[in-house]
Homo-oligomer: A and B are copies of this chain.
């Protein structure tokens, strides 16, 4: 038996393990200091009452023969696919139930979707980016080209000259928090249609868009149904990171819906009934109101972080329609520190931990273009966020 040799081309990521190790070492050396983490990429508020109520009811149904459910449709129960369509309809986007695939999360589908594409396709990935896009394509041996985010384009890279077949976009972006405008997405759709490319649109943070007339779905753009698959998740929207449910839209017009259905019915057996009932509750009026409270809580944290950075005169993107803030590390900060050994992002990590007892995420962990930048997250406690920004303003 021969293994898939492409796995040898994967680079090990030590990002989060190195953060945890440095954080642990500092705490051990300074047991009296309170370290605050603005590095959390996970939600901290509990599930909404509407969701737990629906799941309690579903658990009870599963314990009684008359209401017990065995195998469901691998594409998801109709009740949840209808609820998803209702959610889109309220945004003014018409989606057919047949185009909705209930998933166990955007990460699974963003990787597994590659099954239906030829290995010879060229993949375009923004840099910096959520690392799973790159790894899933390295595993399949595909050629990867990058489109570069920078201060110049506000970390919203646009199509360049090179032809790509598969294009990953993430908006609101992880890690930068930057959000494409309708016009910008329109350019991407035009580019994809011109080149016969497919856009894999990661919309996991769409619920954090709160105004500014920004798009929350690529299907708000004319022509996107022919060239885009959209990946959505309840992980951040409704605190489902440990509950595992999302949905993927594969429009009939892409010509790929039947292939994806065949892939899923061969290698997937659907999301638990209990979890799908919980997900359905997210889309009820009570559910929507309850999750909005949580999103508002995180967004107030994000605004606190953004205000602090503005006050300190630091350049950043994100934090307006996203739980993430992507800040630039000013040269002077690094110059006045001795932490130069591992590159700017890591030097700033050390500087922030030692001088303000704050943990964040070095931008270089998300790609080469992330060097010199730093990700702050708004998923922590309100009081901690306020205290962290007070501390940070004093040293920047």
Q: Check: A65 CB closer than 8 A to any chain B CB.
A: yes
Interface of A is mostly: loop
Cross-chain contact of A62 among B52, B105, B273 (Cβ < 8 A): B52
- Which A1-19 residues sit within 8 Å CB-CB of chain B? 1-5, 7, 10
The answer on a CB contact under 8 Å between A116 and B7 is yes
Q: Check: A337 CB closer than 8 A to any chain B CB.
A: no
Q: Shortest CB–CB separation between residue A76 and chain B, in angstroms?
A: 12
How many copies of the shown chain assemble into the complex? 2
What residues on B are CB-neighbors of A69 within 8 Å? Answer: 242
Q: A262 and B107 in contact (CB under 8 A), knowing A47-B62, A52-B62?
A: no
The answer on a CB contact under 8 Å between B135 and A71 is no
What interface size band does chain A fall in?
A: 35 or more
Q: Check: A194 CB closer than 8 A to any chain B CB.
A: no
What residues on B are CB-neighbors of A239 within 8 Å? Answer: 68, 70
Task: Give 1 or 0 for each of A317-334: 1 = CB within 8 Å of chain B CB.
Answer: 000000000000000000
CA–CA, A116 to B141, complex, Å?
12
Q: A1 and B197 in contact (CB under 8 A), knowing A62-B46, A242-B71, A269-B105?
A: yes
Q: Check: A132 CB closer than 8 A to any chain B CB.
A: yes
Of all chain B residues, the one with the shortest Cβ separation from A272 is B244
The answer on a CB contact under 8 Å between B1 and A196 is yes
For A4, A5, A112, the residue with the greatest tally of chain B CB atoms inside 10 Å of its CB is A4
The answer on a CB contact under 8 Å between B243 and A274 is yes
Binds B, one of A23-31, A53-61, A307-315, A361-369: A53-61
Of all chain B residues, the one with the shortest Cβ separation from A132 is B266
Cross-chain contact of A262 among B7, B43, B117, B119 (Cβ < 8 A): B7
Task: Give 1 or 0 for each of A281-301: 1 = CB within 8 Å of chain B CB.
Answer: 000000000000000000000
Q: Check: A158 CB closer than 8 A to any chain B CB.
A: no
For A43, A55, A266, the residue with the greatest tally of chain B CB atoms inside 10 Å of its CB is A266
What residues on B are CB-neighbors of A65 within 8 Å? Answer: 44-46
Q: Check: A270 CB closer than 8 A to any chain B CB.
A: yes
